[in-house]
Amino acid sequence: MTSLREALGQMFLFGFQGYEPEKDILDLLRTLNPGGVVLFRRNLRDPEQILALTRQLQGASPNVPLFIAIDQEGGNVTRLPEPFTYFPGNRALGRSGSEDLACACAEVTSKELLAVGINFNFAPVLDVDTNPQNPIIGPRSFGPDPTEVARLGLAMLKGFRNNGVIGLGKHFPGHGDTSQDSHLTLPVVAHTLDRLQTVELEPFRLVIQDPDGPEAMMTAHVLYPSLDPEMPATLSSRILKEVLRNELGFNGVIVTDDLEMKAILDRLGPEEASLMAVKAGADQLLFCHHPSYLSRCIDFLVAAVEEGHVTETRILESVQRISILKERYVRRPLSPEDQQVLIEKIGCKEHRALAEEISLFLEDPQRAT
């Protein structure tokens, strides 16, 4: 890294519109040195198009390879279209109680992601499903038992890691007992500290303590007054530094949830949100819809360093964590022959049979493996 601006670029992940990157996106990749991109259904048509897209994106980032990320949880958060294998989501895995099925699901998902050049999956959800009125988590959770959530989450993380894809635990410190959607407003979880420790925080504590725990964690845009009465987790030094880093001992990459969600942007502009997230301890800042924010935010952060609001050492700490993760996972493209072998396995009979086996647990919750 040769400059502060380039270092700051690594701290951003962004989304964009379309099946192909426009010239402004390619220019952004060449000039701002962003850490990576996140893909949505709006970018994804079929395996051949997705592979061409990821290769074009990587080719426009000649100095540092990109994280190419996606939310491929299964169930109602599924980005990849047919013919990719559709898995029913964490509720079905939770009802199965099977670490083997959770791991196998993650293995198949990883193989299909790598077939098209995607190296970072924003999964699994580690939120505990304790509120039937929750509009955003519900079936995305493994269930209401924190220990089971951790056990099955670890199995999925193992499946991702063993097949060369980065997994990520979310949404720290727990989005399971909200009655509002942070895409639309700022939810509040008003439980006591004791309750947070035994339910919401417990899966995160257990997976972090495990040697096979997550190497990345995503924050929640949720206010927890017992932990920080003023700031949502994404912007809270108390939650990210004191709780996640110091108390729980997490040493990996902290990724914000989308900073364009209304829980944040209703209160702060993108520049101020970026600075507050960095000061709180976040390593990567996620902007899913407006790539133009990156240049503005990087300029703002450069000025913040120059004015002493945040130190360059703090920036380089994040870049070091990001670099370690990239060195571990982000590989050169496979040969066309090897890539074709992977593509031909997408949605194959064996993959679909596994998805059908897992789906049975939604149809018959009493079924046991």
CB 168 within 8 A of CB 125: no
From the candidates 183, 210, 289, 290, give the one annotated as an active-site residue: 183
From the list 283, 293, 223, 284, the residue with the least C-alpha distance to 260 is: 293
* 100 flagged as catalytic: no
pLDDT of residue 1: 46
Residues in the chain, total: 369
The b/e string for 22-60 (b: 16+ C-beta within 10 A; e otherwise) is eeebbebbeebbbbbbbbeeebbeebeebbebbeebbee
**DSSP-H helix ranges across 116-144:** none
pLDDT at 133: 80
Q: Give the model's pLDDT for residue 179.
A: 66
pLDDT digits 0-9 by tens, 61-84 = 988 999 999 999 999 999 999 999
Task: Point out the catalytic residue in the list 129, 177, 228, 257.
Answer: 257
**Active-site annotation holds for 183:** yes
Which pLDDT belongs to residue 229?
A: 96
Per-residue confidence (pLDDT) for residue 369, from 0 to 100? 39
pLDDT along the chain (369 residues), means of 10: 88 98 96 97 97 96 94 96 97 97 98 96 96 84 97 98 96 82 79 95 98 96 95 97 98 97 90 98 97 97 98 98 96 80 95 98 64
Tokens for 293, please give them.
């924010």
Percent of the chain predicted with pLDDT > 70? 96
Classified as helix, coil or strand, 39 is strand
Q: What is the pLDDT of residues 193-245, one digit of tens each?
A: 999 999 999 999 999 999 999 999 999 999 999 999 999 999 999 999 999 99
- In degrees, rounded to 5, the angle at the alpha carbon of residue 12 between the alpha carbons of residues 7 and 16 is 135
Count helices and strands in the chain by DSSP H and E runs: 15, 8
Whole-model pTM: value is 0.95
Specify the pLDDT at position 180.
62
Containing H/E element for 301?
helix 292-306
CATH code of domain 12-361: 3.20.20.300
